[in-house]
Amino acid sequence: MPPEALFLNPGRDAGFAVLAEPAQWWRLRKPSVIEGFAASADDGMNAGIDAEVRQAKRHRSFSQVVEFACVPVLLTAAEFRKSHASAGGKCLLNGASGARLLNRYAGDGDAIQRYFADCQAANAGVSLPVSSLPEGVDFAIECRNTFNYFHFLTETLGQLCVLDGLGFKGRVFIHFPNHESKTRGFTGAFVAALFPELAGRVVFERAPKSYDRVISAFDTMLTYFQMPPDWAGSLDALAPSDLAWHGHAVSRLSRATLAMNSVDSGLLALRARALRAIEGRDFSHLPKRVYIARAPGQARDRRMKGEAALVDLLTAFGFVSLSFESLTPLEQIALMARAEIMVSQHGAGFANMLFASPDATVIEIGTLQTAQIRWGDFWPLAHASGCRYVTFFADHDRDDPLREPDFAVEGIVPVHLTDRGLGRVMAYVAALCDQIPRLARPADVARLAGQLLDSGHLDRAEAVLERHRDMQPGDVDLCLLQADLHKRRRELGGELVALHAAWQADPSRWQTLVQMLWCARSGNNLEVMIWVIRLMQAEFPDRLAELAKGRDWMQQLL
């Protein structure tokens, strides 16, 4: 079918109306700190991991996070099939379920690009239709399945929050495509714990199901691409480059980039509701430093090789090993809300990062494969909670760990945390626990201090550099890290001193002089600016000439 016959255009097609128009369809939020570090036993694999992380941070990480409205809607001639919904015979492009429909349909095909362009043209000057709340109508939402905790928590549960303030008293249906025998108990347990006002009114029912009229929840992320820029506004200024973001000229990569840099209001409302649910309760029995293990028989059999050695070392730093499956829903929420540091291997349990404290550091251990195809899925959860989300990408647990797995054939390959990877993880954890390790090589000191700086732990980075102060003279990388530390604290004098030490350590590095020039200009230090320019005239005249182009203030100092 052509996309215009398959996908619903909310601005023009019948069968769709919002019940409560938000004050803003989207707004901006401060991003969380998200970082990834290599922890492989192989230098070549570490280089590949570093390149993957750089690509994500440089080209796919927005400067701010977009919060899209998730709103209650009235659907007519509605159907719930598989894990998506339709109205008037057309499929809703509703958040994550809509993204999956698009990806299954045609990816970046010309027909999809033309469809979105036609939608934007057709929707010029229109607003989404608005309806009043009808009486005697049920509420229904789609659920990808009832056995995957990540999808249930992040996609389904928050949709129930659109009922807040509606005064809705009817039945609530959650439709899923899988056989009932695969349903796990967490679905009903979380609904009961977080939505007690819906007791006796929630029905889990297998799709397909049809309704003449039904109330549902609608995530407007993909509506951004269906509406023209003068209605939706532009997010282009947030993107670091046009390599992964193509604005309203829709591509699969653009949609994926927006998804990892956005949250929906339903998810934020779910977090707020969960934190309210644990207020005033005693959870002092829960640890503040925790390693989350997989419960036997509960999660997919992807145990991490090297886990026992990691748990032994973490225990020495006061960590307690637990599984989420052994805790009640409110205990899971409270554990994350109280935790200072949480460590675990890659898995669906990181959905609970939604409930983490903004002061927490959540540490994931994954692989290059998870960096490529799963890392961005968890970014919205970190952005919603405001915690620090740090991933160490280790090796694949397979006979040929250096060959990149084929996800279509092998699925997610388990993690192998080798001794070398374990050392990198534990050096970082020890520093967070105020136990600064004494490292033997300047390169290791620079790596650890840089990781702490990048993840926002400035005091811990300073402690690492101070512990190894004797290694700093003559080492350009350590001097530059010291300068970076001063820069992040806006200590211009200290930054200049450290940059000068870096220049003395490596006079061939012209970039250091450029850094000194910018620092001196920020502090209006004319004497240093002139000194740097004179030095560059003597040592790097070509670089200086290129740098001075279009900068009148520099021309005046030449």
Among candidate residues 233, 265, 280, the one where a domain is terminated: 233
Q: Using the predicted structure, report yes or no on whether residue 150 has a pLDDT greater than 60.
A: yes
pTM, whole model, 2 decimals? 0.95
Among candidate residues 178, 198, 233, the one where a domain is terminated: 233
Residue 296 counted as domain residue: no
Give percent of the chain with pLDDT exceeding 90.
91
DSSP result, 403-441: SPP-HHHH-SPPEE--HHHHHHHHHHHHHHTT-----SS
Question: For residue 419, what are the contacts with CB-CB under 8 A and spacing of at least 6?
Answer: 41, 306, 309
Burial zone of 215 (CB within 10 Å; 0-12 exposed, 13-18 middle, 19+ buried) = buried
The predicted structure's pLDDT at residue 557: 86
* Cα radius of gyration rounded to whole Å, the chain: 26
Q: What is the mean pLDDT of residues 432-455?
A: 97
CATH number, residue 452: 1.25.40.10
Report helix, strand or coil for 35.
strand
Residues 389 and 33: beta-carbon distance below 8 Å:
yes
Per-residue pLDDT of 369-423, as tens digits, reads 999 999 999 999 999 999 999 999 999 999 999 998 999 889 999 999 999 999 9
The predicted structure's pLDDT at residue 555: 87
**Token representation of residue 276:** 């309210």
The predicted structure's pLDDT at residue 105: 87
Residue 336 counted as domain residue: no
Residues 548 and 554: beta-carbon distance below 8 Å:
yes
Residue 423 counted as domain residue: no
Expressed as residue numbers, the domain containing 145 is: 3-25+69-233
Residues 378 and 267: beta-carbon distance below 8 Å:
no
Q: Using the predicted structure, report yes or no on whether residue 301 has a pLDDT greater than 80.
A: no
Give percent of the chain with pLDDT exceeding 70.
99
Q: What is the mean pLDDT of residues 23-29?
A: 95
Q: Which residues pair with 362 in a beta bridge?
A: 342, 389
Residues 251 and 108: beta-carbon distance below 8 Å:
yes
Greater confidence (120 vs 105) lies with 120
- Domains of the chain: total: 2
E-strand stretches of 238-387: 262-264, 289-292, 320-322, 341-345, 361-367
E-strand stretches of 82-200: 84-87, 90-91, 139-142, 172-176
Report helix, strand or coil for 200.
coil
Nearest to 273 by CA among 194, 379, 165, 160: 194
Instruction: Look up residue 130 and give its DSSP letter.
Output: B
Question: In which residue are the tokens 């006061």 written?
Answer: 318
Q: Is the dihedral of CA 545, 547, 551, 557 positive or negative?
A: negative
The predicted structure's pLDDT at residue 229: 92
pLDDT category, 307, cuts 50, 70, 90? very high
Residue 383 counted as domain residue: no
Q: What angle do CA 538, 504, 493 make, to 5 degrees?
A: 100
Q: Using the predicted structure, report yes or no on whether residue 91 has a pLDDT greater than 60.
A: yes
Q: Using the predicted structure, report yes or no on whether residue 302 has a pLDDT greater than 90.
A: no
The predicted structure's pLDDT at residue 107: 58
User: How far apart are the C-alpha atoms of 456 and 30, rounded to whole Å?
Assistant: 14
Residue 391 counted as domain residue: no
- Residue 506's H or E segment, with its range, is none
The predicted structure's pLDDT at residue 232: 87
User: How far apart are the C-alpha atoms of 458 and 33, rounded to whole Å?
Assistant: 13
The predicted structure's pLDDT at residue 48: 96
Instruction: Look up residue 201 and give its DSSP letter.
Output: T
The predicted structure's pLDDT at residue 20: 85
Residues 313 and 289: beta-carbon distance below 8 Å:
no
Helices 329-338 and 265-277 meet at what angle, rounded to 10?
100
**Mean pLDDT over each residue of the chain, to the nearest integer:** 95
The predicted structure's pLDDT at residue 298: 54
Among candidate residues 185, 216, 233, the one where a domain is terminated: 233
User: How far apart are the C-alpha atoms of 245 and 61, rounded to whole Å?
Assistant: 10
Question: For residue 116, what are the contacts with CB-CB under 8 A and spacing of at least 6?
Answer: 225, 226, 248, 250
With b meaning 16 or more CB within 10 Å and e meaning fewer, what string describes 493-503? eebbebbbbbb
The predicted structure's pLDDT at residue 110: 87
Alpha carbon of residue 556 to chain centroid: 45
Question: For residue 181, what are the contacts with CB-CB under 8 A and spacing of at least 6?
Answer: none
Q: Which residues pair with 213 in a beta bridge?
A: 76
Q: What is the mean pLDDT of residues 229-248?
A: 93
User: How far apart are the C-alpha atoms of 554 and 558, rounded to whole Å?
Assistant: 7
Per-residue pLDDT of 191-213, as tens digits, reads 999 999 999 999 999 999 999 99
User: In this structure, which amino acid lies at residue 80?
Assistant: F
The predicted structure's pLDDT at residue 438: 97
Residue 241 counted as domain residue: no
Residue 196 counted as domain residue: yes
Residue 117 counted as domain residue: yes
Instruction: Look up residue 33 and give its DSSP letter.
Output: E
Q: Is the dihedral of CA 246, 251, 254, 259 positive or negative?
A: positive
With b meaning 16 or more CB within 10 Å and e meaning fewer, what string describes 464-483? bbebbeebbeebbbbbbbbb
Per-residue pLDDT of 97-110, as tens digits, reads 999 999 988 756 78
Q: Using the predicted structure, report yes or no on whether residue 141 has a pLDDT greater than 60.
A: yes
Q: What is the mean pLDDT of residues 516-539?
A: 95
